[in-house]
Amino acid sequence: MDINAIVRHFGLTEHPFITSPDPRFLYFSSQVREALAKCEFMARDRIGPIYMYGPIGSGKTSLVRRLHEKLSQDERYNVKLLIVPNIKSSNALLRVIMETFDVKTERSYAASLANFEGFLLQQFESGKVPVLLVDEAQYMTREQLKLLHYLLNFETNKTKLLQIVLVGQEELGTKIVNYRELASRMFPIAMSAMSLEDLRDMIQFRLTVAGRRDSLFEESTAEEAYHLLYAYTKGLPRDAIKVCFELLIDLAVQGNTHASPQQIEEIAKAQNLRI
């Protein structure tokens, strides 16, 4: 059974439980709304760089994709999204950043930095706000973080020329806290697991986006099913989405459209999730 067959079985327009970070399926919990608002505020007023960190599967990548999409709709922002490449040197990272912004690199590190500073000044004079979003930033080395620290020195007397948002797992928070000079210049955003209520609303939100208004569970057992889903996934959106993905397969194979708590438990255990 393929995805199209599942979509047809439930009368959906698309599959609601794909783990790819599609911004359309990002559920705006209070935590997500607050993080987005803070990032937008910092970027708009060029207040300072941000690092956002949290456990695997807490929705950080979806959030940064949504931020990229939203800022890109405003012509004032020159927004680039960079997923940390498998490189180790700060020189190589500088080249990747400059290429991302279409800035000419030079053979020497110092000359490349001078080119990038000139680019940032030109952007400032034309009223543009360059924003660098870096996902999977927990893989950055100390030398690469030092480069970002240096880039933050590009500023006028009143305005920072480059807005940086680093996004990564909890290790990112540890790395930055241990780099005190950088930590003192950055604003943290800690992402955590969802509440039970947010998890329930996220599942229904995804179903609604995909064309279904009805609940995934029988009304009489829905409360128990959501409590089990929350207990096994610890409120992490990605794990909940993975369980629901397999749940739709089970239901389609059985010819059903509503799930039971027992199915949640069986699938969660098969995915090595534990209460």
What pTM did the predictor assign?
0.87
Helix (H, G, I), strand (E, B) or coil at 45: coil
| Secondary structure of residue 192 in the 3-state scheme | coil
Show Cβ contacts of residue 98 under 8 Å, excluding neighbours closer than 6 positions. 104, 105, 112, 115, 116, 119
Distances from the Cα of 127 to the Cα of 32, 39, 75, 117, 161, angstroms: 28, 19, 10, 15, 11
Sheet order of strands, 187-190 included: 77-83, 129-135, 163-169, 50-54, 187-190
- pLDDT tens, the chain, 275 aa long: 789 999 999 999 999 999 888 888 989 998 899 999 998 898 888 888 999 999 998 889 889 999 999 999 999 999 999 998 788 899 999 999 999 999 999 999 999 999 999 999 999 999 999 999 999 999 999 999 999 999 999 988 888 899 999 999 999 999 999 999 999 999 999 999 999 999 999 999 999 999 999 999 989 999 999 999 999 999 999 999 999 999 999 999 999 999 999 999 999 999 999 99
- Residues near 15 by beta carbon (within 8 Å), at least 6 away in sequence: 3, 6, 7, 210, 245, 248
Structure-block tokens of residue 215: 């609940």
Cα–chain center distance at 257 = 31
Count of Cβ atoms closer than 10 Å to residue 125 Cβ: 8
